[in-house]
C-alpha cells in the first residue's frame, strides 16, 4: 500500500512495507528522508538501476543526520522514496567538497 506524505508543499510517496523494512534496517524513517530534499546544499547524483532513472540525494535531515536518499520522480505528482540510510564516509566527503565546506 502506498503512503502519501506532504512536506513544505511537496508530495512524497512510498510503499508502506518498504518503509517499515528501511526503518528496521537503517533506523531511518521515510518521513525523515523527505527532509533531505530541503537541505539547501544537498548533493544530487545518478542512482539509476535496471533501466530505471533514480536520483541519489546526499544531505542533512532536520535532526542533523547526513543521509543518502534514493528517489524516483513520479511525473509532476510526487517523489517516490525508494530507500534511505546514513551517508557513508565517501558520500559525506563528496557533500563537503561539493559545497566547499573543507
52: CATH: 3.10.450.530
- 35: cell is 527532509
Tally Cβ neighbours within 10 Å of residue 97: 11
Q: Whole-model pTM?
A: 0.92
Domains of the chain: total: 1
Q: pLDDT: is 100 or 84 the higher one?
A: 84
pLDDT score for 76: 79
Which residues contact residue 98 at a Cβ distance below 8 angstroms, ignoring those fewer than 6 apart? 41, 43
Domain span at residue 41 reads: 2-98
Q: What is the pLDDT of residues 59-89, one digit of tens each?
A: 999 999 999 999 998 877 899 999 999 999 9
Return d(Cα 69, Cα 30) in angstroms, integer: 9
Return all residues near 84 (Cβ < 8 A) that are at least 6 apart: 22, 26, 28, 29, 30, 32, 33, 36, 67, 68, 69, 70
Amino acid at each position: 500500500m502506498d503512503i502519501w506524505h506532504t512536506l513544505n508543499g511537496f508530495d512524497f510517496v512510498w510503499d508502506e512495507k518498504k518503509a517499515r523494512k528501511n526503518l528496521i534496517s537503517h533506523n531511518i524513517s521515510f518521513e525523515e528522508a523527505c527532509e533531505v530534499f530541503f537541505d539547501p546544499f544537498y548533493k544530487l547524483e545518478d542512482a539509476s538501476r535496471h533501466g530505471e532513472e533514480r536520483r541519489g540525494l546526499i544531505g542533512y535531515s532536520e535532526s542533523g543526520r547526513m543521509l543518502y536518499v534514493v528517489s524516483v520522480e513520479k511525473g509532476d505528482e510526487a517523489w517516490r522514496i525508494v530507500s534511505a540510510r546514513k551517508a557513508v564516509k565517501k558520500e559525506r566527503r563528496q557533500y563537503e567538497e561539493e559545497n566547499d565546506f573543507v
